[in-house]
């Protein structure tokens, strides 16, 4: 999550970005989802 926070703080605009992950538990955590929502990022996860 630290890398994502650093990247978002360096961006001027984050709207329209889709974050795709493999569906790992750390990407489904409440804190990570809240971070994505705070920056108006859309989530996308692979179906396992």
| pLDDT tens digits, one per residue of 26-46 | 888 899 889 888 888 888 888
Stretch 13-25: mean pLDDT: 79
Torsion angle, CA of 7/10/41/33, rounded to 10 degrees? 50
Stretch 2-21: mean pLDDT: 79
Quick one: pLDDT at residue 34?
A: 92
pTM above 0.75, yes or no: no
Burial of 5 (0-12, 13-18, 19+ CB in 10 A): exposed
The structure tokens 């984050």 sit at 14
Residue 30 C-alpha from the chain's centroid: 11
Quick one: pLDDT at residue 48?
A: 61
Stretch 1-30: mean pLDDT: 80
């Amino acid at each position: 999550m630290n890398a994502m926070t650093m990247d978002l703080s360096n961006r001027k605009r984050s709207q329209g970005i889709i974050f795709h992950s493999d569906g790992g538990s750390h990407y489904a955590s409440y804190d990570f989802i809240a971070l994505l929502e705070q920056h108006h990022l859309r989530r996308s996860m692979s179906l396992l």
